Amino acid sequence: MTYIDLLQIHRLDHDDEPEEIMKALHDLVQSGKVRYIGASSMRCWQFALLNQVAERNRWTKFVSMQNEYSLLYREEEREMNAYCNYHGIGIIPWVPNAAGLLTRPLDEKTARSEFAKGTRYYPEPTEAEADSHHHIASAWVNAKVTSLVMGLSSEKRVEEAVGINGVNLTENEMKYLEEPYEPRLVKGHA
């Protein structure tokens, strides 16, 4: 039988009632066409509401949340990541390397440097086995979530991504990278 392992909805559809959304997803799981359901890029209260509707009706609940999360954008730590961790829901961030901003040394005269303000951009090597900025940024996110979604544009990038396996940052390295973060506006949710 052919089925989808994990079907994720992207953002909340405000035109449909939460009951209608969760019943449709539950029906797909019950039919055997889908094994698990998840969601992506919505506010924590919306995600919690959908899961509450499912629980109240004894329907299938979400097992994952795919949200934006990186050293440069950590706003999901405020609510969503805490909610997911408390409820045993997997976190699968997209753009863990901030759309490439964390993959190369920073040039102080670019727009990238403006966006990176407030985050320690590893100006000196850490003690980790990582050999690139990409490995360090990915290892940081990987230590905090279930799995990563990475956009890879070349064979070299695929090899770099595979190279993060076994790269572990020490507690001091994690603190060093996190310390200067400044909260930002939450973005991208409808």
pLDDT the model gives residue 115: 60
Query: How far is it, in rounded angstroms, from Cα 168 to Cα 174?
Result: 10
Q: Is 28's pLDDT higher than 60?
A: yes
Q: 117 near 180, Cβ under 8 Å?
A: no
Q: Is 190's pLDDT higher than 60?
A: no
Query: 3-state DSSP call for residue 10?
Result: strand
pLDDT the model gives residue 36: 98
Report the greatest alpha carbon distance in the chain: 55
- Place 125 in a pLDDT band, splitting at 50, 70 and 90: very low
pLDDT the model gives residue 105: 59
Q: CA separation (Å) from 64 to 25, 39, 81, 153, 184?
A: 14, 6, 11, 25, 24
| pLDDT per position as a tens digit, 54-64 | 999 999 999 99
| pLDDT per position as a tens digit, 155-185 | 887 887 787 778 888 999 999 888 888 888 8
Which candidate, 78, 119, 77, 81, places its Cα nearest to that of 97?
A: 119
Rg (CA), the chain: 18
Which candidate, 41, 44, 39, 50, places its Cα nearest to that of 80?
A: 44
- Place 71 in a pLDDT band, splitting at 50, 70 and 90: confident
- Place 3 in a pLDDT band, splitting at 50, 70 and 90: very high
Query: 3-state DSSP call for residue 8?
Result: strand
Q: Is 123's pLDDT higher than 50?
A: no
178 or 34, greater pLDDT: 34
Domain boundaries, the chain: 98-184
Q: Is 43's pLDDT higher than 90?
A: yes
